[in-house]
Structures are given as C-alpha cells and as structure tokens.
C-alpha cells in the first residue's frame, strides 16, 4: 500500500488519442508503490461528442483546466507522435508555467519519433524516457533531459521549478 509520502498529485497533459497511455503511466508508477492522483481530463464518448459539436465553450474548458492544473504539484506531458501539434497541450503547459508548476515531459512507451511541443521546449523542467525511475526522479525534481531512448540530451531551459 502506498504511503502519504508516495502520493503524487499530477495533471497529465496529453493528446486525446493517447488516453490509454495515462492508464499505462499510472499503472507503471503504482507498480513501484506510488499513489498517483491524476486531475487531467479524459472524455467519455458522450462528452467527446459534445466537444466535437462545440456544445462546450472554450472558456468553460479553460476554467476547468486551470482549476485542475492548480490542484496538481506537477504537470506531466505525455509526448506521443502528434502531441506537439495539439493547441490544448501547449495551452496547458503555458498555464502550468504561469502557475509555477514543475513540468515534466515523458515520451510514451516505444515513442521514438515524437516532436516535443513548443511550450514544453520552452518551459519544461525535465523530459525523460518511459522508465519508472526516470519518471519519478523527474517528477521529484531531477532536471533530466533525455531522448526517447533514454540517452541524455541538453536541457531545453535553464529554469528550475519547485514542487508544491
């Protein structure tokens, strides 16, 4: 059973096509004894239809996202093949930066050909490969920047964020 010290409050920013990766990430971290509290938005089929039909205003979406990001101590960005082109992902990263959150990019498992979202390049605290120890170290404050295969690469910025 995970202890209070193993609890992590995360907002997991992602492309909606990568929803399944959120479950894989939380399962991966749980297998090492971490209790992941995820505040990100995952749409069920009915809500996805409402979004596609523009029945939810962008201001309502922004308000909910701001609240969910503010609740988290760290924003994790799942870096998949098309994440870099998603306007909401970049918006979420920008808001996390405004709120002083630690921002950690994680390449999805097997991801090797993924471009990094522009806002993550600008504000990222760490970018790591799909590896439990690397992910936890990045969430907890290690400024590690890696390529998808796990090899180190130069940092994208020189700022250091702190955990809440």
| Domain spans in the chain, listed from the N-terminal domain onward | 4-42+51-139
Distance CA 131, CA 32 (A): 11
Nearest residue to 92 (alpha-carbon basis) of 111, 115, 72? 72
Distance separating alpha carbons of residues 56 and 50, to the nearest angstrom: 7
Which one, of 100, 149, 120, lies nearest residue 15 by Cα?
120
Q: Which pLDDT score, from 0 to 100, does residue 143 have?
A: 55
Mean pLDDT value across residues 33-57: 74
Arithmetic mean of pLDDT, 96-117: 87
pLDDT at site 158: 42
> 50-84: per-residue pLDDT in tens?
667 777 788 888 898 999 999 999 999 999 888 88
Return the SS3 of 82.
coil
- pLDDT at position 164, please? 41
What is the CATH code for 4-42+51-139? Answer: 3.40.50.450
pTM: 0.80
């Amino acid at each position: 059973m995970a202890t209070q010290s193993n609890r992590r409050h995360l907002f997991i920013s992602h492309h909606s096509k990568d929803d399944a990766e959120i479950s894989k990430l939380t399962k991966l971290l749980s297998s090492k004894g971490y209790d992941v509290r995820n505040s990100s938005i995952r749409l069920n089929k009915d809500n996805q239809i409402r979004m596609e039909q523009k029945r939810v205003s962008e201001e309502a979406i922004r308000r909910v996202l701001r609240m969910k990001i503010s609740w988290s101590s760290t924003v994790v960005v799942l870096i998949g093949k098309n994440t870099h082109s998603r306007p909401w992902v970049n918006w979420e990263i920008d808001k996390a930066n405004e709120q002083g959150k630690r921002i950690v990019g994680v390449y999805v498992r097997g991801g090797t050909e993924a471009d990094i979202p522009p806002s993550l390049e600008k504000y990222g605290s760490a970018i790591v490969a799909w590896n439990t120890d690397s992910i936890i170290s990045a969430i907890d404050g290690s400024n590690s920047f890696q390529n998808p295969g796990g090899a180190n690469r130069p940092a994208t910025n020189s700022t250091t964020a702190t955990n809440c």
